[in-house]
Amino acid sequence: MKNKKNQSPISPKIKINENYMKEKIGVGTSFDVGFRDVTILKKTAHLYYLTGLCDSSIIVELLKKLVEINDNESNLRKVAEIVENRLVHQQVTRVKTMDEAVDQLLSGLIVLFIDGEDEAFVVDVRSYPGRSPQEPDTEKVVRGARDGYTENIIQNTALTRRRVRDERLRHEIVQVGERSKTDICISYIKDIADEGLVKKIKDEINKIDIDGLSMADKTIEEYLVKQGFNPFPLVRYTERPDVSANHLFEGHVLIMVDTSPSMIITPTTYFHHVQHAEEYRQAPVIGTFIRWVRFLGIFASVFLLPFWLLLVLEPSLLPKDLTFIGPNETGNIPIVIQIIMADIGIEFLRMAAIHTPTPLSTAMGLIAAVLIGQIAIDVGLFSAEVILYVAISAIGSFATPSYELSVANKISRILLLIITSIFGVPGFVIGSTLYILLLAMTRSLNTPYLWPFIPFNIKAIVHILIRVSVPMTKNRPSIVHPKNNYKQP
Amino acid sequence: MENEMLEQNKQEKPVSLLTKALLTGFVGGVLWSMLGALAAYFNFTSVSPASFILRSWLQTGWSDSWLGQLISIFVIGVISVLLAIVYYGLFRKMKSIWPSAIFGVGLWFIVYFLLQPIFPNVPQMAELSMDTVVTTICLFLLYGIFVGYSISYDYLDSVTKKNV
């Protein structure tokens, strides 16, 4: 696609350029493309800009300087040089083709054509609408930095650079999307990150051939990891600059996409999704405690309900000490149907909570808790124990730091429930084995997904089970194949 | 080549690879036999680690209690180190996850079919319940993957220096 584009050069006759602009980008039709005509040293000059993406005060300043040329200069033969000199801005470049000029104009830069010149001047006066850094909702910490990435890629690179002042940090930018021309930045530290990985990511991104990336990072992810029917998240997202700086130091490669505050961290394993910045803001022991409780929650969110269902279906499995488990009276509906209904009910609530305005969601919580929960038991629809275990496993999913992982685990749980209710013990055992086996076979950018559990790596698993203090972590994780293994030179 | 100075290009010594394999073997044996003991506690399987390690020789009361299980788990860990050496010696060059899965299932056949006469406390294959067969095969399969895949991954990783 990119090669087929005909590269029309900038004509020395300004009328031809003007017609091109009228035809191609609809100057005069689209109201957001502006145009200003000035005369400099008896030559016509045309200035194009995009209202809304430019900083007007700078443009006015530049125009003032340009008009002053007529008062101060007289050399009619060197108009281009004089104009370039008088464009008092640090980012001025010359372009030779109309396509380049149009691309730049539509990104919010201003383009200046001068009659008789086959080059145009492009000045970067961009100022994009957007918010300032805020704490991301999904990754809150009690103490520590409260800034988060925004939708502006320039701000995002700046937030990273604030934490990594290394001269070897690279921010490589590419444009993807035939129509959207979205900027994508690949960040890595040159002497740590694996060259093969950087190259692979660049190749995959360059291969993307699509109109536009309206869903930004998610679209890139789908091209990058080729997920298929696998529900598990194959990349980790973060909106925290400190988390991404930490991963850069470990040798990961980050991908930021303009218009999205979520950075993609690659390569990722299952265990990247069960960690949270909060653990690193607390004492190592506390961090370890938080982490173990969280692991318990995640484990419960997958296995608790199917296991309990199994014990209800076959009470003979229970050892002597645990015979109290299981409902005292069998309800009117099979337990598995009750569990799935209650689980779907929680899913209703969760989905509704995402797009319900806050004032209404309080009422929603009340209805859910009091009416549905209590009355469903009173009516005889659900047994009380079902509500208890469904609630525990739901809270377990909420305790999963990665939203994507919690949803994938929920799907696994429902499948396990169904297979357990049909086949009993063999169903549960084979289902759980398949869960581990399929995860172990999954690969994200050639990285085994269950590393460091399967394949086993003792050092790395200790770092996952125990939050080791920073002075004690001397090596980078081997899974990223760092060029330089020592964190403390 | 300046690249040879880089950490990632340094050859790892085969000794450390073997040590890793031994460690993986021990942890694998302990981990999966612990799960086996848990499965036996919940009556998924009638065969627990203790039933073929200890109870074939010792019919005392304590050998069926938690202490018996604990000792058996440790013994299985040690036996598993030997298995890891075997895998390291014979199959470490296998690439995918499947050879290790077959290794696990094969091990199940050896233990429950060929070696069954050694363990008087383990019933014959035909007498095992469906639950027991499925649970133990799954545990052996996961054990095989854990030990085998880890060893071959480590080996390939040390040869190619990248994920394969």
Residues of A in contact with B19 (CB under 8 A): none
Which residues of B touch chain A, with CB atoms under 8 Å apart?
6-8, 20, 23-24, 27-28, 39, 41-44, 97, 101, 130-131, 134-135, 138, 141-142, 145-146, 149-150, 153-154, 157, 161-164
Cβ of A317 within 8 Å of Cβ of B141? The answer is no
Q: Report residue A97 as tokens.
A: 């083709």
Residues of A in contact with B134 (CB under 8 A): 425-426, 429-430
Cβ of A425 within 8 Å of Cβ of B135? The answer is yes
Cβ of A448 within 8 Å of Cβ of B163? The answer is yes
pLDDT tens across A431-467, in order? Answer: 999 999 999 999 988 889 998 898 898 888 999 999 9
Residues of A in contact with B27 (CB under 8 A): 456, 458
pLDDT value at position A483? 81
Q: How many beta-carbon contacts under 8 Å exist across A and B? A: 87
Q: Name the pLDDT band for B6 (thresholds 50, 70, 90).
A: low
Which residues of A touch chain B, with CB atoms under 8 Å apart?
194, 196, 267, 311, 316-319, 424-426, 429-430, 432-433, 436-437, 440-441, 443, 445-448, 454-458, 478-479, 481-486
**Nearest CB to B154; choose among A194, A440, A455:** A455
What percentage of chain A has pLDDT greater than the value 70?
Answer: 98
Residue B11 pLDDT greater than 60, yes or no: no
Min Cα distance A311 → chain B (Å) is 9
**CB within 8 Å of A450: residues ≥ 6 apart:** A269, A270, A436, A439, A440, A442
Cβ of A483 within 8 Å of Cβ of B6? The answer is yes
Min Cα distance B56 → chain A (Å) is 23
pLDDT value at position B1? 38
Nearest residue in A to B141, CA atom: A433
pTM of the model: 0.87
pLDDT value at position B55? 77
What whole-number distance in Å separates Cα of residue A148 and Cα of residue A102? 32
- Which ranges of chain A have pLDDT less than 50? 1-4
Min Cα distance A456 → chain B (Å) is 5
pLDDT tens across A109-143, in order? Answer: 999 999 988 899 999 998 888 889 999 988 888 88
pLDDT value at position A254? 95
Based on its alpha-carbon atoms, the radius of gyration of chain B, rounded to whole angstroms, reads 18
What whole-number distance in Å separates Cα of residue A186 and Cα of residue A483? 18
Cβ of B135 within 8 Å of Cβ of A194? The answer is no
Min Cα distance B13 → chain A (Å) is 16
pLDDT value at position A5? 54
Label each residue of chain A as H, E or C: CCCCCCCCECCCCHHHHHHHHHHHHCECCECCEEEEEEEECCEEEEEEEECCCECHHHHHHHHHHHHHHHHHCCCHHHHHHHHHHHCCCCCEEEECEHHHHHHHHHCCCEEEEECCCCCEEEECCECCCCCCCCCCHHHCCCCCCCCCCCCCHHHHHHHHHHHCCCCCEEEEEEEECCCCCEEEEEEEECCCCCHHHHHHHHHHHHHCCCCCCCCHHHHHHHHHHCCCCCCCCCCEEECCHHHHHHHHHHCCEEEEECCCCCEEEECCCHHHHHCCHHHHCCCHHHHHHHHHHHHHHHHHHHHHHHHHHHHHHCHHHCCHHHCCCCCCCCCCCCHHHHHHHHHHHHHHHHHHHHCCCHHHHHHHHHHHHHHHHHHHHHHCCCCHHHHHHHHHHHHHHHCCCCHHHHHHHHHHHHHHHHHHHHHHHHHHHHHHHHHHHHHHHCEECCEECCCCCCCCCHHHHHHHHCCCCHHHCCECCHHHCCCCCECCC
Min Cα distance B58 → chain A (Å) is 23
Cβ of A482 within 8 Å of Cβ of B8? The answer is yes
pLDDT tens across B81-129, in order? Answer: 999 999 999 998 888 899 999 999 999 999 988 888 888 888 888 888 9
pLDDT tens across B128-156, in order? Answer: 899 999 999 999 999 999 999 999 998 88
**Nearest CB to B150; choose among A429, A455, A482:** A455
pLDDT value at position A354? 83
pLDDT value at position A3? 46
Min Cα distance B53 → chain A (Å) is 22
What percentage of chain B has pLDDT greater than the value 70?
Answer: 88
Nearest residue in A to B145, CA atom: A454
Min Cα distance B95 → chain A (Å) is 12
**Which class for B40: exposed (0-12), middle (13-18), buried (19 or more C-beta within 10 A)?**
buried
For an interface test with B, give the residue of A425, A432, A453, A478 to mutate (most B CBs within 10 A).
A425
Cβ of B7 within 8 Å of Cβ of A485? The answer is yes
DSSP B47: -
Residues of A in contact with B42 (CB under 8 A): 311, 317-319
Tracing tokens 């964190």 back to the chain, one arrives at A487
